[in-house]
Chains A and B, each alone.
Chain A
Amino acid sequence: MSVSIRTPLTFRDVPPGVGLEAALALKRPAVIATLRAADLRGRGGAGFPTATKWNLAAAAQSKTKYVVCNADEGEPGTFKDRVILNHFPDLVLDGMLIGGYAIGARKGLIYLRGEYTYLRAPLEGILARRRQERRLGRAILGKKGFDFDIEIRMGAGAYVCGEETALIESLEGQRGEPRNRPPFPVDTGFQDQPTIVNNVETLAWVACIFAKGADWFRALGTAKSRGLKIFSVTGDCERPGIYEYPMGLTVGELMQRVGGEGAKAVQIGGAAGRCVPAALFDRTIAFEDIPTGGSIIVFGPQRDMLQVAKNFMEFFVEESCGQCTPCRAGTRKLLGGLELLENGRCSIEYLSELCRLGESISLASKCGLGQSSPKAFLSIIRHFRDELLGRPAPATS
């Protein structure tokens, strides 16, 4: 049984090493300039410009710097990083090496989620092979003064560790509780040293950009969201799986391609994303409109949106690290509200209060997890009120 890859993937056309060789032929500032020309933005979902991140770390004064590959893919509905690590690991490692070269780091860490432990042994094998090929270790590809090695570290089942500062805390042997930002990891990261943390897919695109040229990447997508994106599509559609499209596709176009035309809603961006009803399917998937780390979950006409909202809220109650009150206590309150709705016992007054609470959680939470935790709740309440209010009390058994 294998994953369904439904479109041709650029990663298949880019042989390992080509991007790395092209990047190492450039001077360090030119590497970052190329990325800036390509206008690559982070593929984990936040969309931060990769060149800006790398430039800050490159400019930071320190002898020790780190490159971290964020392979803690925990967003509900995403599995593209698993597929990339499984089928195109060399591109990701090439991307890490290019990052190490660009910022002047000698060490890379892959933070692999505990749920993907079965990927560890194959990856260790690839690292060993690369050390023999001089694509890791000392004087990489014969380039004097560029030494770089990569270590794999395992997560242990905490969604919040996908947040970059929580990930760094975890690498340091701490509870995975996000830090205040600033300072940002680019100057105070792993072991307080300048650190770039990039998503698996971002690093693979870095390798492709150096192999195929910044202009190739820049010509795709929209003005604010350049290039291609990998989507993980699941739910009520005929063809779930992995898709590659340029950024800026509309939700409706995507639904046609995945066989989800009848959908009444699509969750874009996973539990931390938002729910888009059919009436808004002309909106585009791009950082300037509806951003996503790649998770697309399709809901058919028969789906009970209350159950969907409840599943997302249960997820956040479970995964909140508990460090700050708005998220720890707020997510529980919102879940309680959904349970009232389920029993047909929620007043509109109280529902409005919960929506205001949701906005407070977004504003007052410390990290991205907390800030995005009410998004699914709020968008489902907004678009599916009719479906949620005044339910008959469930029959007691």
Chain B
Amino acid sequence: MLITEHELLKDEIREWCVRYGADRGALLPILQEVQHKYGHISEFAMQQIADALEIHPVEVDGVVSFYQFLHTRTHGRFVIRLCRTVSCDMAGKDRVARQLENELGISFGATTPDGRFTLEWASCLGLCDQGPALLVNETVYREVTPEKVHEIVSACRRSLSAHAPEFSQEAAS
């Protein structure tokens, strides 16, 4: 990371501290902001947050490592999380998983070499009546079939090449 990027991150953390309050209770919202913007939470970011909230950096690391949606390592631009819990399992998540691996050329837990996609398992997403379900970042996909996997991945790729700022949001119900 360039020094200027470090400075930028420092400023942002200061701003978030103003918004959420510079106390321990603000830790999770601040971490979520960093995660959302940068796709991961670097050691530098953790140190800055620790300084701002006047807590030990190990405390920050402890919190980051606890939550599944917070990461210390670089994650793909699109994080695909496939539900593996029982209802989605019965609805055929294995075949969807296989097809995701085929389309992306990686296995679960990995990130594509171009840094675009990370593939992960999720515990119950609360879409059990419409499984198999998966999340692409914050967008939900229901009743996913192996065929649909290709469309989902293609839509992600298209949105990158079009420089679209945000991934199109499917209406959530």
Contact = CB atoms under 8 A, between A and B. Distances in A.
B25 A157 contact: no
Contacts of A271: 85-86
Given A156-B68, A156-B70, A159-B123, A173 B128 contact: no
A173 B67 CA distance: 11
B87 interface: yes
B28 interface: yes
A297 interface: yes
Interface stretch (A32-40, A132-140, A307-315, A324-332): A307-315
B173 A158 contact: no
A146 interface: no
Interface in A340-386: none
Contact of B86 (A74, A81, A175, A267): A267
Contacts of A86: 172-173
Contacts of B155: none
Given A267-B86, A308-B86, A176 B126 contact: no
B86 A113 contact: no
B126 A311 contact: no
A172 B25 CA distance: 4
- Chain B contact surface mostly: mixed
B127 A79 contact: yes
Interface residues of B, number: 42
A156 B123 CA distance: 12
A232 interface: yes
A153 interface: yes
A interface residue count range (under 10 / 10 to 19 / 20 to 34 / 35 or more): 35 or more
Contacts of A232: 128-129
B85 A173 contact: no
Q: Which 3 pairs show the lowest CB-CB distances between chains A and B?
A: A173-B27, A157-B68, A156-B67
23 contacts: A74-B123, A75-B124, A76-B85, A77-B86, A77-B87, A79-B128, A81-B126, A82-B127, A114-B68, A117-B138, A118-B138, A153-B29, A156-B32, A156-B70, A171-B25, A173-B24, A173-B63, A175-B62, A232-B128, A242-B129, A295-B128, A297-B86, A315-B123
